[in-house]
Amino acid sequence: MRIGAIEAGGTKFVCGIGNEEGVIEARASFPTEQPEATLKQVIAFFRDQGVEAVGIGSFGPIDMNPSSLSYGYVTTTPKAGWAEYDFLGMVKRSLAVPCGWDTDVNAAALGEATWGAARGLDSCAYYTIGTGIGVGVYAEGKLVHGLVHPEGGHVLTRRHPEDDFAGNCPYHGDCLEGMAAGPALEARWKTRGSELVPEHRAWVFEAFYIAQALTGTILTLSPKRIILGGGVMQQTQLFPLIRDAVRKNLGGYVSAAAIQDHIEEYIVPPDLGGNAGLCGALALGLTALNRGA
Ligand code: ADP
Ligand code: ZN
């Protein structure tokens, strides 16, 4: 079986062809330009390759409501040419196969639940901490969409008492993304995150903000595992700092062994590494094929 996968990001599109085991057999990457220019390359990559379905995990915001006129569109993005663009429709018309469609982070959550760190569990939350912050939610065996789709990168945060950075989210200033995404780190410390030594207090601040979001997610959704991916999480010293801060925030209130005794197995990096999004898109394609959509 050959299934197409598209991980559509704000800077690049990663495309792959894989099978029902989650094995990616071919891949290519194209810069995110105007939609027609990028999708021309994407479609050419899949054309005549015998793919039976395609899954798309897209940057957003996107329209996920099947009864909406703009279902399958990228909606209000500032990205040139992509606002109100019928992304799903374009791929469907061009390739004429069933297509799965979801956010990039929901795709990553599904990928990890199917083949990765949350394999065998019926719920997880997947955070990416990169150029932006996003969260994908898988609950009771399904991806969560709700009214629009989760936007947990923009939750409000309580400020660290020693932090005077104003925050750089254009909508909210000091929301989680405005305080803790890669560009916020860079703006606050005047150097790239990857240049900051592991002992730098930047990481204490970073863990402080991420842990707040995770605390809210644990209390609201009670996911069975939380997976933290994205470029910033390559700073692996963050994991123990975040786990400690989460436990401190919870104050022993949530009585689950996963948190109280085994938190190192509860808040984890992706098992699929950088392939979480692409494998997730593959899983979306498989779901679409089974549904015949
Ligand atoms: P994107 O979010 O654009 O898909 P990434 O997940 O790779 O891509 O995130 C890119 C962001 O992560 C940039 O802001 C970059 O500065 C930051 N970043 C990448 N590698 C590291 C690192 N090793 N340490 C800290 N920050 C990093
Ligand atoms: Zn925000």
What pLDDT is stored for residue 77 in this prediction? Answer: 87
- By the 10 Å C-beta count (0-12 exposed, 13-18 middle, 19+ buried), 78 is classed as exposed
Could you tell me if residue 111 is inside a domain?
A: no
Q: What domain count does the chain have?
A: 2
Q: Tell me the residue ranges of DSSP E strands in 218-266.
A: 226-229
The CATH number assigned to the domain holding 13 equals 3.30.420.40
Higher pLDDT, 216 or 79: 216
> How much is the average pLDDT of 23-29?
97
> How much is the average pLDDT of 219-247?
98
Distance CA 128, CA 132 (A): 8
- By the 10 Å C-beta count (0-12 exposed, 13-18 middle, 19+ buried), 110 is classed as buried
Q: How far is the CA of 130 from the centre of ligand 1 (A)?
A: 5
Give ion ligand 2 contacts, CB < 5 A. Answer: 154, 169, 171-172, 175, 177
Q: How confident is the model at residue 78 (pLDDT cuts 50, 70, 90)?
A: confident
The verdict on pTM exceeding 0.85 is: yes
Q: Are residues 87 and 165 in the same domain?
A: no
Nearest-ligand number for the alpha carbon of 231: 1
Q: Are residues 263 and 129 in the same domain?
A: yes
Q: What digits encode the pLDDT tens for the residues 242-254?
A: 999 999 999 999 9
Distance CA 250, CA 155 (A): 18
Of all residues in the chain, the percent with pLDDT exceeding 70 is 100
pLDDT at 89 over 90: yes
What pLDDT is stored for residue 137 in this prediction? Answer: 98
Could you tell me if residue 56 is inside a domain?
A: yes
Q: What digits encode the pLDDT tens for the residues 100-142?
A: 999 999 999 999 999 999 999 999 999 999 999 999 999 999 9
Distance CA 72, CA 182 (A): 28
Q: Are residues 87 and 152 in the same domain?
A: no
Identify the domain containing residue 81 by its residue range: 3-104+274-291
What pLDDT is stored for residue 292 in this prediction? Answer: 83
Q: Are residues 181 and 246 in the same domain?
A: yes
pLDDT at 293 over 80: no
What pLDDT is stored for residue 221 in this prediction? Answer: 98
Q: How confident is the model at residue 154 (pLDDT cuts 50, 70, 90)?
A: very high
Query: Relative to the CA of 181, which ligand 1 atom is closest?
Result: 14
Q: How far is the CA of 66 from the centre of ligand 1 (A)?
A: 33
Could you tell me if residue 242 is inside a domain?
A: yes
